Amino acid sequence: MDWKIPLYRIFTDKEDEKLISKVLSRKMDWAIGPEILEFEKRISNYIGTKYCVTFNSGTSAGHAALLALNISSGEILVPSFTFIATANWPLMVKAKPKFVDIDEKRFGMNPKSLVKQISKKTKAIIPIHYGGLSCDIEEIRKIGLKKNIPLIEDCAEAFGTKINCKPVGVFGKMSIFSFAPNKILTTGEGGAVCTNSKDLFEKLKLIRSHGRESNNNYFRTNKQPNYISIGFNWRMSSMTAALGNAQLNKLDKIIELRKKHAKIYDQKFKKIEAIITPYTSHNEEHVYQLYTIQVKGNKTRDKLQQHLSKKRIMTKIFFDPIHLSTYYKNLGYKKDELPVTEKISKTILSLPIFPGLKKDEISYVCESVKEFFE
């Protein structure tokens, strides 16, 4: 459909074009250039970890994280209320995803449900920070430490999110980021893993580039490389990293604008009793990668979505429960195993939010929602 207001538009300026053009014009090092190391250093500095390894997607970054932990069996605890990659990662390393229910406010992994799902088979815990808001990561971290289970944060939707002035991505053994088109920081496609472990850092570099020792730029040297493990071609390109550096320069503005737009939505929807706006608290920074409302009462979410589609306003359901998808039902996962996940997924709807959203566009969305409930 030709949307009058899409769910997102990428925030760009001439600096993006300038830094990409710089890579293009040198006619070399498009694959392994200085922009990649610069991007990695800037990410680790921003998040507050010692190391960062970039990848060609958040999905490959998460896969690499589990490979770096040498997981090849057992169970990995994940939410069903997430993007499909989070649940698929365990299967990629021959482990089993074991689903944990979520809390009703943050839509993140519920610590109480987490404790109930831990067993001798548990090899890792992967909570997500939903839509730009932290899950109860401090409590989840305590559980992981007490049980001696590795914690991997899925921060795909939460670059810049903070809790008690501390960025998400520093609470676990590793953290995974995505730079897909609808994310806070985007490079079109791309991902990263952050960690404080030198050992994991070295493993991740091998995994992303064929298991090859990287003392030299492969495309710049005539020396034969040494391959010391199995690996993949999961590297980020220089042009992608250049775009990432340009986007990082605008990150504070990007987050500021998202928060500004979310505040307007909050104010406009206060008078609509059938809508619950996104949860926030004084000690956290919500960066609004998504602006997800809950619809209650006799007016259903699906009817609201249809109404907004007629108005050419794009909305989306983030997320349908993974355990109820065809593939996972065929694996034996069943309905009614995650009551909160199943309940929330029937009421949520994500509205357009992006830095370049205009005042008249916000007004149009709000008036269209209001019209539905009148």
Domain boundaries, the chain: 14-249, 251-373
**What pLDDT does 1 receive?**
85
Using CA atoms, how far apart are residues 45 and 57, in angstroms rounded to an integer? Answer: 20
**What pLDDT does 136 receive?**
97
**What pLDDT does 319 receive?**
97
Whether the per-residue pLDDT at 134 is higher than 90: the answer is yes
**What pLDDT does 221 receive?**
81
pLDDT bin (cut points 50, 70, 90) of residue 298 is low
Residue 123 DSSP SS3: strand
| Average pLDDT for 43-50 | 98
pLDDT bin (cut points 50, 70, 90) of residue 196 is very high
**What pLDDT does 223 receive?**
86
Residues of the chain above pLDDT 70, percent: 99
Whether the per-residue pLDDT at 251 is higher than 90: the answer is yes
| Average pLDDT for 207-222 | 86
Using CA atoms, how far apart are residues 356 and 161, in angstroms rounded to an integer? Answer: 20
- Please provide the CATH number assigned to the domain covering 251-373: 3.90.1150.10
CA of 60: how far to CAs of 99, 150, 195, 264, 273, in Å? 21, 19, 16, 36, 42
> Exposed, middle or buried by CB within 10 Å (0-12, 13-18, 19+), for 282?
exposed
Sequence-distant contacts of 39-43: CB under 8 A, at least 24 apart? 39/236, 39/241, 39/244, 39/245, 39/248, 40/192, 42/245, 42/248, 43/177, 43/192, 43/194, 43/248
- Kindly provide the residue ranges of all beta strands, DSSP E only, lying in the chain, ordered along the sequence: 51-55, 75-79, 96-100, 122-125, 152-154, 162-163, 166-167, 174-178, 191-195, 275-276, 284-285, 291-295, 348-351
Q: Is the peptide bond before 39 cis (omega within 30 degrees of 0)?
A: no
The DSSP secondary-structure symbol of 320 reads: -
| Average pLDDT for 16-39 | 95
- pTM score: 0.97
Angle between helices 359-373 and 251-269 (to 10 degrees): 30
| Average pLDDT for 134-149 | 98
**What pLDDT does 297 receive?**
73
pLDDT bin (cut points 50, 70, 90) of residue 218 is confident
| Average pLDDT for 276-283 | 95
| Average pLDDT for 78-99 | 98
H or E element, residue 41: helix 34-47
Which one, of 62, 123, 77, 132, lies nearest residue 290 by Cα?
132
**What pLDDT does 24 receive?**
94
Whether the per-residue pLDDT at 159 is higher than 90: the answer is yes
| Average pLDDT for 163-182 | 97
Residues 6+ apart with CB under 8 A from 22: 242
The DSSP secondary-structure symbol of 23 reads: H
Whether the per-residue pLDDT at 228 is higher than 70: the answer is yes
Find where tokens 């815990």 sit: 125
- Please provide the CATH number assigned to the domain covering 14-249: 3.40.640.10
Count CB atoms within 10 A of the CB of residue 25.
7
User: Is-contact 133 157, C-beta < 8 A?
Assistant: no
Computed over every residue of the chain, the mean pLDDT equals 96
Whether the per-residue pLDDT at 216 is higher than 80: the answer is no
